[in-house]
Structure 1
């Protein structure tokens, strides 16, 4: 009986405990529900920014390199040994400055020869004019004079032909000599290749031997001294291989030099042939001219018309001699090369003592008092810039310095590969701070909006499907209110609003939890005037902005 009393008592106690626990849980659930309702009805904590008016400037930065507006090669017109070459890379030169002197001996001899020919022609003309009143006496003298001139002309012609063969033979000998040098250089390259192959085989053998000795050393079949000797042998063979490769590089350079000498010798053959042909042609023409003058003198004895024709021929001979002398004097002046522009020497191709040849540049000069910064621009940017527009340029090599420039040229066509347009910005470089080839960054103003209503970019929610439209959430009477807006220009930090809001209204840019339409909100952090934030929105655009003082107004 007592056992049943104990059991009944235990059941009653257990039922009491269960009932008490259930009542506690219902009380806790009621408290949690009350707390949740209080939290949902409490104002959301948000960060806001006030709408304001300011100017927006959108810029585009392009990268490019510096170019010289003028680049000129100083090239000789005559062939000769360079006696003086007084400038090097980096030297500044002025227009008209003497840069190069070429040996003038050959051209000076030609000038003397042409002067003598001109003196002879003038003498013959003067003599013919003096004998005009004594035609009968003067004709015989004229005939003899022309006969002598014909003999001289024929002698000169024979000499020119002989000189032609000699000059061609000498130039051809130089070509043959250069060809021999090329062959020798090619043989040296072949020998160097063989040396490299042999050295590579020795290195391979040494590596194999080292591996074998190291294996034997691991097995205890050889000594460490033997392994060290084999390793030293490998290093010696590798050094020999490096030396063989260096020797091949020198042989290749010698081959290139020999080929260049051969090309120069071949050009000399062509020049010698042309010069000799010109001399032969000139002497043949002189013979024909003297023969014509002699025939006229013989056929027109004592005839005034014939004598007049003879004078005309002599005058023509004087004119031809004067032209030949002027040409020789021009070639003599060509032995002195002067700077065609004021600038800086950027390349020196030869040294004093080298042989100058027509068409082979000796120096290169670039004008750098003003330079161009050349950049490539996308098609959409090229439509927003114009010639004469200002730009600012910075260089990584000159930190902290900004150079003002102006667009002087925009290419009318795009590059076929990149589909971009090239623009050139002129920079004043009188201090010589900027040099051709430097890397630069050029900034252009592409768009500008004055006195527009702006908000931080993160305050606007946009949809790519509807460009130019978006929504903002403003705080009106302590509650959140979503408004559709029309967007305008953006510089990556703020965006212009064309309608839907009023200057001074507070726009939500950040919230602790999602904000519903009409929900009570409480601003935290004191709000901002047009600054950036971290709330949602599409951050598009780029560039710098130039802020202006806040003004009144609205975007309705």
Structure 2
């Protein structure tokens, strides 16, 4: 009986040991398979720093010169000479065009002659006054000596006063002649149309021989030193912009060049 129990216990123990070994082997294979089959993903790390996140707004606009001037004549007349064309660079004060000044030249010559006549008349009046003043002094001496009467002395004084008035009138006529001559000289100078600023000729509107007036543009001068880009920004992006915001401008003609700029004005009106 004891032998049977011992054998039975031994069988149970062997069976248990076998089961334990089997389970241990299975766990080892499972653990090994788990270590071989599981691979961790590769993770790249970077140092976190505090900074400013910027969002760019890309828009399309038109480029134009910040300053441009339409050059117009100050007088009506015929264009006799036009010295510039589109693309020419000009300096401030440079002669651009010239109007016909033949009639004004004649008027200037007549005014110069009138001035000479007025100056001669003034000189004559001055000489007459000088003679009368000398005669008045002589008459005073004669009156004190009792040679002439007071009436004769008064007549001489009256003649002096009249001569002095005539001299003043002659002097005024000289000043008037000078003013007329100066005005004609200014008008003649205005037939020379000069550049009001340094820049590049952007447009040319007339040719030699054309009749122009003070409302007729001759050329347009552009100041290309500073350019302005006019852009239309969608309303949803407008909040990202403010005066002073830096901008980078790219021009189709030179796409590889970046021009630095900034926002200088934001219109309060919405399209």
Instruction: Indicate how the Cα distance of structure 1 residues 301 and 82 shifts in structure 2: closer, same or farther if over 3 A, else same.
Output: farther
> How far does the alpha carbon of each residue in 1:119-160 deviate from its partner, in whole angstroms, 9 at most, with x for none?
111111111111103349xxxxxxxxxxxxxxxxxxxxxxxx
Q: Is the 8 A contact 1:128 1:311 kept in 2?
A: yes
Distance, in Å, in 1 between the alignment partners of 2:200 and 2:113 is 43
RMSD (Å) for aligned C-alpha atoms: 3.2
Q: Is the 8 A contact 2:95 2:194 kept in 1?
A: yes
**Residue 160 of structure 2: aligned partner:** 304
1:342 aligns with 2:198: yes
Stretches of structure 1 lacking an aligned partner (at least 5 in a row): 1-42, 137-299, 419-556
Distance, in Å, in 2 between the alignment partners of 1:95 and 1:406 is 28
**Residue 402 of structure 1: aligned partner:** 258
Give the TM-score normalised by structure 2.
0.67
Deviates more, 1:118-127 or 1:391-400: 391-400
Distance, in Å, in 1 between the alignment partners of 2:244 and 2:104 is 50
Q: Is the 8 A contact 2:128 2:163 kept in 1?
A: no
Instruction: Indicate how the Cα distance of structure 1 residues 70 and 359 shifts in structure 2: closer, same or farther if over 3 A, else same.
Output: same
1:132 aligns with 2:122: no
Distance, in Å, in 2 between the alignment partners of 1:374 and 1:49 is 44
**Residue 6 of structure 2: aligned partner:** none
Give the drift of 1:85. 0.9
Question: 1:58-97 maps to which residues of 2 (within 5 A)?
Answer: 58-97=55-94
**Residue 354 of structure 1: aligned partner:** 210
Which of structure 1's runs of 4+ aligned residues deviate more than 6 A? 45-52
Q: Is the 8 A contact 1:67 1:371 kept in 2?
A: yes
> How far does the alpha carbon of each residue in 1:428-458 deviate from its partner, in whole angstroms, 9 at most, with x for none?
xxxxxxxxxxxxxxxxxxxxxxxxxxxxxxx
Give the drift of 1:411. 4.2
Q: Is the 8 A contact 1:135 1:302 kept in 2?
A: no
1:365 aligns with 2:221: yes
Instruction: Indicate how the Cα distance of structure 1 residues 95 and 47 shifts in structure 2: closer, same or farther if over 3 A, else same.
Output: same
1:103 aligns with 2:91: no
Question: 1:208-357 maps to which residues of 2 (within 5 A)?
Answer: 302-357=158-213
Distance, in Å, in 2 between the alignment partners of 1:123 and 1:366 is 51
1:53 aligns with 2:44: no
For the pair shown, the structure with the greater C-alpha radius of gyration is 2
> How far does the alpha carbon of each residue in 1:481-509 deviate from its partner, in whole angstroms, 9 at most, with x for none?
xxxxxxxxxxxxxxxxxxxxxxxxxxxxx
Q: Is the 8 A contact 2:242 2:266 kept in 1?
A: no
Instruction: Indicate how the Cα distance of structure 1 residues 354 and 413 shifts in structure 2: closer, same or farther if over 3 A, else same.
Output: same
**Residue 235 of structure 1: aligned partner:** none
